[in-house]
A and B are shown apart, each in its own frame.
Chain A
Amino acid sequence: MNVLDEIYQKAKENPQKVAFPEAMNEKMMQAAYETGQEGYIIPVLVGDGAEIKKAAKERGYEEKVFQIVDISEESYKKTLVEKYVALPQTILKEKALNRRMQNPLYYAMVMQAVGEADVTFAGIDNTTGDVLLAGQMIIGLKEGISTVSSIGLCDIPGFQGSEGSLLAIGDSAVCTNPDAKQLADIAISACDTVKELMDWEPRCAMVSYSTLGSGQGELIDKVVKAVELAKEQRPDLAIDGEFQFDAAISPSVAEKKVNRESKVAGKANIVIWPDLNVGNVGVKLIQQFGHADAYGPMLQGFQKVVCDCSRGAPVSEIKGNIVISAVRAAGSR
């Protein structure tokens, strides 16, 4: 069974409510319908109720598979607003919130914030920027976390790492030039993400071109500082570095280069890149030369699971991302 099959299996055992604010989009509705009908999730379509019902019928979907939330219906909206403004640390007041909720993306996130949905899934009609900003405004970031970021899960044929052919990597998509604190936050979030999704015991390596002081310079200083900050903030997590990539994932290299105790060196299951240049090139190398499947990017750092899918994604990929986000949401509780 490959990793995606395992994740699908997990989703079925505990289907989560996934809110779709871009329900009218044909690909989105199809992906929502199929994942719902196959029992992986409970799809909640958020938007103009009548329009959604009409489109679903025309497209040949059984309405009973969906929960349809009409954003113009006042009484439910009122309940949501009341519950939302009563939450601690929300930044929008009632009037401004009501205005924002005319947009289904914000409406869906409010539902999620108050527990009426487990995931918000968007990104086809809204840009990544829209989704990230709405997420920060409505869902908010986890306590102590200063940036949104992402990780990807790579299934690399022939790779024999500490989780078989799998390796989580981040950030290859979102946070462009993290400072030391942000880099530490990416590592911490990544540990939480893999725990939620895969039940792994996270072993997180922060990589650079130096292993424990073998090189010097400001590029390395940032990574060293990030390791320090991450350990300070979350001493419960196995986050270590700075390591070169090979010292992070290869036991024989780690044995030569890492001359102290480390729970991570040589057996990392998460690799954190120092910036997005490395991260993006890194994932492309793994895909092109390693012939890997890369799943993601999975957004992290939010208090709850927010998912942004690629605009050009085919329905099969959207379905995979929906199911991954649902399993993360189930695992985060």
Chain B
Amino acid sequence: MFKNMKTLKTLLKYLGKARYLVALSLLFALVTVALTLYIPVLTGQAVDLALGKGDVDISGIGFILIKISACAILLALFQWLLSVVNNRLSFDTARDVRIAAFKKIGRLKVKTIDSRPVGDTLSRVITDIDHLSDGVLMGLTQVFTGVITIVATLVFMVSMNGWIALAVVIVTPLSFVVSGFVARRTYSMFRAQAGERSEITRIVDETIGGMRTVQAFSREKDMVESFDAANERLKKCSLRAIFFSSITNPSTRFVNSVVYALVAVCGSLMSVFGVGALSIGDLTCFLSYASQYTKPFNEISSVVAEFQNALACAARVFEFIDGEELEKEDAGQADLTKVEGRVEFKNLSFSYDPKKPLIENLNLTALPGQKIAIVGPTGCGKTTLINLLMRFYEPDEGEILIDGISATDYTRSDLRSLFGMVLQDTWLRAGTVMENIKYANPVATDDMAIEAAKQARAHGFITRLPNGYDTVLTEDGGGLSQGQKQLLCIARVMLRDPKMLILDEATSSIDTRTEMRIQDAFARLMAGRTSFVVAHRLSTIRTADKIVAMKDGKIMEIGTHEELIKKNGFYHDLYMSQYR
């Protein structure tokens, strides 16, 4: 329950931003309720003017009926305005929460992103917030209206007949007892349901994302089986949660019936014994109040059920938003325009898993303008060095110095702005080819982008696409081959004009002939810039100023190509193996 309160508090903070809407909502609710309650009073008055045969005041009734009609029209107007305000309130708040959740993604540690299933985060940012807006916000607004109705009805009833009002007041809290009882028991069920849901999302995301592989290995049946198992579990959880929460409504309605009977009996008896001068019209009005008065209790209680579900979802969303993130940084101290590009790795140690040390006490210096090639067998820590250089991960010990200043003294974004990076894992966003090329440098002109594409040897295939540079790529560049995607990534970085360059297997999927042609462009791009090149293809790195041969996180040899070949050691063997 304590955790619930925390979630609710956070939510109220978001609602606070729309304070004027809350005020309007309350005002409109007040008017709506007052009119809703006034109509039965008028009806009661009209009934009292129709006592029996020959004893009916037709003109009096006519006047009352005009009042009823006017009230009905006003009521409808305010009801609609109330919905409009509430819609605004709930969708605006959902939007704010969603934007906050999304911005959080940008502040997460790369480590967190790497370790968390994509489907889980998706389900929090999209589905859970939807449930939140449907359940919590709509719920809250219904609770507003409900509470106002209850209070106003009480006032009306007490002013008409205190005794019956008292009877009603004593019995109705039973509704709360019942719904509170159910709610307490169902929260954990809804939480379990949300958990199973995110498991389903995970399976779905993985399977659909890898459908080609699934189909190539004819594993459709097995995927369906594991999905079925999760689906079955979700079904069980959902049935429990939905059924138990749906008991609330009939139970509170039963309490209503009791109240209704009570009012009918008390009212009739008082009318018979002449206590409190209760007319039949008053009784009609009371009866209609009895159901008016209990209806909000029903609504509140049925909302409570939905609320539990929504709150469980909200808790997951806020948990995500409040989760661990990158520490805040002060403004960078270094002057970026004067960076020359001297990079030093000093006594660097790092491991992804504390039990398995990867990089230990590594030292390496790159002078401004040098081309540093990092080679070594798969899994030797080449990419890890890049992760550390870009501060996607932070070293466990030691530091990285850029122009003698610790990398941590730059802001992350300042540091990254110094680099142009092409990774083996190509990522393109949904959008046109042109948008993708300009991604690294949004102020570039179309001509500049086309020139970059030409240098990256991507111009040819782009013009063969259905709409050339305006061809819309789907998520992750679907439809392009891996090599074409890499060419686009290279064009992207060519447009950026960075101080330093990182090429991590940047050409692994590009044929060597095209690669040779790009090399000219790379050579021009790298001229005067410190560059780090990771490659398997050793022929592409022979011209490096310094080749760093790594194995198991340690530097085995450092030197130029000729020096290392002459040494006839680790690098020599690595280099020669490609000709076998």
A and B: interacting chains = no
**Interface residues in chain A, defined as those with a beta carbon under 8 Å from any beta carbon in chain B:** none
